[in-house]
Structure formats: C-alpha cells, structure tokens
Structure 1
C-alpha cells in the first residue's frame, strides 16, 4: 500500500527562499517551525525584506536557533529597532527537537532553512530541512535528472 504524502505547508507569502540549498543538499526531512521575532523584524519581513542564503540552524541546550539569517532594520523603526543578524529562536515541539538533535549529533547532518514565509494565519514560519551534502558528481546527476524531467514534460505537452 502506498504511503499518503504529507500535505505541503500552507504558504501564502514567501519572503525569503534558499534556492541554493536544494542544489547543494539532498533534502531528507522537512519541518515547519515558528520563529520568535520582535515587532520591527515582523514589519521588515512583511515588506519582503530578508535573506536566509547563508544561514543555518543549530540545536543548543534543547532549543533550535536560526543563525546568520539577515532581516534588515525596519526603515521607520526608532530606538527599538533590532539587530539584523541576531540568532533567532525556532519554535518546535519537544519531539521534533529531539529528532533534529539526533540527526545532528549522531549522523552529523546539517539543518538548512529552505524558506521563510507567512502562513494563512499571518504567522512567520521557517521551512527547516535535515539535509545531506551532495558531492560534485551527485550535483551533475541531479542536474541531468532535472533536465530530463523538464524535457519529458515538454515532449508530453507537444505530443499529448
């Protein structure tokens, strides 16, 4: 019997996406995590500013932290503006944190953020993945497979 696919996360507004991660890493598990933000950080994200291109997540003392994510200061912020590259706490259940800690500690796999978005209730979320690094030959195979799938789709559209 075929396992049912997990439903995709309900993304209404994608703010930042790490496209390079899907090329550099083979994605194994994907989690949706809330993110603890201050008011000016939320305002900056709502304006579509933010980058997670060089960021990663780490498990410290039973908590998961998003490190090196850049959310620029809010333009109309005052003295309560935030630091752009501060570590931000990710909100996950204890069971999910234990799974992530096991993957990082035992297998040495990185935690890579794939995207930052707002879901239908207006909360900022991070799509976090347990990934396995690809070697150069794996990347070439991945590109060839992707090109072949694109070609297949084109042929099916043309010849019905």
Structure 2
C-alpha cells in the first residue's frame, strides 16, 4: 500500500495557541485554476480564517490566496469565500456540535495530498487568557526539562 504524498502549503500555528483542539476533519476545496497555481507557489495565509456552515454546506472565510502573478486576465479575488467539500454525515455532526456546545471551526493547515488541495479543519473551543498563560508555562517547563535531560547525558 502506497503512502500518501503530502506537501504542506500553509499552517495556522496561532490556532493551537488560541483554541483547545477537540476533533479534526479533512476537507477538499472548490478552487479556480489561478488559485491552484498560486497555491503551488505556496502563496496562502490561514491567519484570520474561519469556517461556517450555511444551508448544509461548509464555507471558508478570510482564507487569503494571493493572485497568480502570471495570469493575464480572470484572476481570482484573494479573500473570496470558498466552498469546502465534506461528507454530509460529517457536516451534520459538526453542525450539531457547533450549535449545542459553543464550538467553532478553525482551519489548521492547507496542503496538497496526491495533487489535490486539502484543508485540515478543527472543531475547537476558545481558550481564556489564563488557559493561554498555562499553556505557555507548560511549554517552557517542558523545554527546561529537555534541556536538563540533554545536559545530564
């Protein structure tokens, strides 16, 4: 069995700091040709993006894909709303969790899997300020322990 070939285009590192990640989903995207060409050059930014469910379909907002520099005409809008492709049962599952528990959909990373653009979505819950400080403190303690372990050897 062949292993999937994955090439990461962009990651949302801020999401792990701002949210508790509870579940992950993979979704395809409906894109224009110039968007795919721009993504192949690694020109994407997930920083302020988020996903919403509207009329039984999932859409990604504020995902910035830079215009393709070599397109003569018909270039895409960098911040247009793009449809995500997911199974209906996954969308229903997400819809239920988002409405009842106050979760949100946050994109974690954008990548190519076997030539197709995929987006990793996370079902997440926002962290409070004290949770963020606690996460930073734990990370620093872990780093210090690793440093001490390395010095001990």
TM norm. shorter chain > 0.5 = yes
Alpha-carbon distance, 1:23 to partner: 0.4
Answer yes or no: is 1:136 the counterpart of 2:129.
Answer: yes
Higher strand residue share: 2
CA distance in 2, matches of 1:155, 1:94: 50
Alignment TM-score, normalising by the size of structure 2? 0.92
Alpha-carbon distance, 1:156 to partner: 2.5
2:111 to 105, 111, 117: 117
CA distance in 1, matches of 2:88, 2:152: 51
2:93 to 80, 93, 99: 99
**Alignment size in residue pairs:** 150
Where does the alignment leave 5 or more consecutive residues of structure 2 unmatched? none
The Cα RMSD (Å) is 1.4
**Secondary structure at the residue paired with 1:76?**
coil
1:5 corresponds to: none
Alpha-carbon distance, 1:154 to partner: 2.3
Where does the alignment leave 5 or more consecutive residues of structure 1 unmatched? 1-9
CA distance in 2, matches of 1:139, 1:104: 22
2:69 corresponds to: 75
Alpha-carbon distance, 1:155 to partner: 2.5
Alpha-carbon distance, 1:11 to partner: 6.7
4+ residue runs over 3 A deviation: none
CA distance in 2, matches of 1:24, 1:148: 19
CA distance in 2, matches of 1:155, 1:11: 37
CA distance in 1, matches of 2:5, 2:45: 17
2:13 corresponds to: 19
